[in-house]
């Protein structure tokens, strides 16, 4: 893989894009200090220009290169969770390109834990801006094949590090305004953060004056097939209605198949949160490719452990059933 890393570094330094694995999802990377290169991310994804990006760093020692203020709480969280799936929102240094921040006074920073990502970052010795390597608003990729299927020739190189071990995007925590605020749930939970800081982060209030961040739109992570969240009791009812209408339906549920019918495709999901999260995007991509009339997903339980999964499913349902504009 050394030659692939060398090629990736050469492409990044030339202002080109490279897709690479992280522990969360595959990222579409560009040199974060090169505004012209960063713009190529937005073009490849069809991403709105005011939607900020996360900068991936080789180590916490690079924080001062990007953040003008590194509060003590950021240092404690970095020591506890980096490398790992936690993004910290901090006040940006003035030289950070506006294309990274969406014109805001903050920047999102993290150190990923995937060994291939760390190898790339160490060899590049700089920040790599990298949102998920998919068309904007669509299902995030968790394998190199997903990236190639969706972005094709838009990406000169895809580093293949296997399936992502976490499977959903990082937790995003705002530390730029004094009080820690959770902007996106992920594998690092509020209880984990509270154990380090001695206080739990506050939830982001609707319409609150908080930074815009990746994955915060109401519609995101979405299949083209309409997706409907249903309760365990409502699943069979929804299935029967679909069959009466003659619809072919896909089901994602943690229970064994309850109805055997030629028009029903049933995929059993892991029953615990980490396993469900790990398989979620790959399962949605698989079911989305079947040409069914709809995807029925059994709503997971409420509670802290399922917060990130329920967040992704809610946004996926809101954005589902819409074709890409380009």
What is the domain range of residue 274? 227-319
Buried b or exposed e, range 21-48, using 16+ CB within 10 angstroms: bbbbbbbbbbbbbbeebbebbbebbebe
Helix, strand, coil shares, percent, the chain, to 5: 35, 20, 45
Q: 54: number of CA atoms within 13 Å, CB side?
A: 32
- Rounded CA separation 192/200 (Å): 9
Residue 28 lies in a domain: yes
Structure confidence at residue 72 (pLDDT)? 97
Tokens 């560009």 belong to 30
d(CA 24, CA 166): 5
Looking at the structure, tell me whether residues 141 and 184 fall in a common domain: yes
Whether 198 and 89 share a structural domain:
yes
Radius of gyration of the chain (CA): 20
| Tens of each residue's pLDDT in the chain, 326 residues | 669 999 999 999 999 999 999 999 999 999 999 999 999 999 999 988 888 999 999 999 999 999 999 999 999 999 999 999 999 999 999 999 999 999 999 999 999 999 999 999 999 999 999 999 999 989 999 999 999 999 999 999 999 999 999 999 999 999 999 899 999 999 999 999 999 999 999 998 776 666 778 767 777 889 999 999 999 999 999 999 999 999 999 999 999 888 899 999 999 999 999 999 999 999 999 999 999 999 999 999 999 999 999 999 999 999 898 765 43
From residue 287, alpha-carbon distances to 27, 45, 280, 281 in Å are 22, 22, 11, 10
Q: What integer pLDDT is reported at residue 221 of this predicted model?
A: 86
In three-state secondary structure terms, 121 is: helix
Question: Residue 232 region, left (φ>0) first, then alpha (ψ -120 to 50), else beta?
Answer: alpha
Residues 125 and 79 in one domain: yes
264 and 192, same domain (yes or no): no
The pTM of this model reads: 0.95
152/238 same-domain check: no
Contact (Cβ atoms closer than 8 angstroms) between residue 28 and residue 17: yes
CATH of the domain at 49: 3.90.870.10
User: Which CATH number fits the domain that encloses residue 239?
Assistant: 3.40.50.11030
Residue 208 in domain: no
């Amino acid at each position: 893989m050394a030659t692939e890393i060398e090629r990736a570094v050469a492409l990044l330094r030339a202002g080109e894009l490279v897709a690479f694995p992280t522990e969360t999802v595959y990222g579409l990377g560009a040199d974060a200090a090169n505004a012209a290169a960063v713009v190529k991310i937005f073009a490849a994804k069809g991403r709105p220009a005011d939607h900020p990006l996360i900068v991936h760093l080789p180590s916490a020692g690079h924080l001062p290169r990007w953040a003008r203020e590194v509060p003590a709480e950021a240092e404690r969280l970095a020591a506890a969770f980096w490398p790992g799936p936690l993004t910290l929102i901090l006040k940006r240094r003035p030289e950070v390109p506006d294309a990274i921040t969406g014109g805001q006074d903050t920047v999102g920073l993290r150190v990923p834990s995937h060994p291939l990502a760390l190898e790339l970052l160490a060899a590049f010795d700089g920040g790599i801006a990298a949102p998920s390597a998919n068309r904007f608003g669509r299902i995030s990729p968790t394998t190199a094949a997903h990236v190639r299927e969706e972005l094709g020739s838009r990406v000169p190189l895809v580093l293949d590090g296997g399936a992502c071990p976490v499977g959903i995007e990082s937790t995003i925590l705002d530390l730029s305004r004094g009080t820690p605020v959770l902007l996106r749930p992920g594998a690092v939970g509020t209880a984990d953060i509270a154990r380090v800081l001695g206080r739990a982060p506050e939830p982001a209030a609707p319409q609150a004056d908080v930074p815009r961040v990746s994955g915060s739109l109401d519609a995101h992570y979405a299949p083209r097939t309409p997706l409907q969240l249903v309760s365990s009791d409502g699943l069979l009812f929804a299935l029967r209605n679909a069959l009466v209408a003659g619809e072919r339906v896909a089901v994602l549920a943690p229970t064994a198949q309850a109805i055997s019918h030629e028009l029903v495709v049933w995929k059993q999901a892991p029953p615990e949160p980490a396993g469900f999260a790990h398989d979620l995007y790959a399962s949605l991509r698989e079911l989305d490719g079947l040409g069914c009339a709809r995807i029925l997903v059994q709503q997971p339980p409420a509670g802290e452990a399922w917060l990130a999964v329920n967040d992704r499913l809610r946004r996926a349902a809101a954005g589902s059933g819409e074709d890409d504009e380009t």
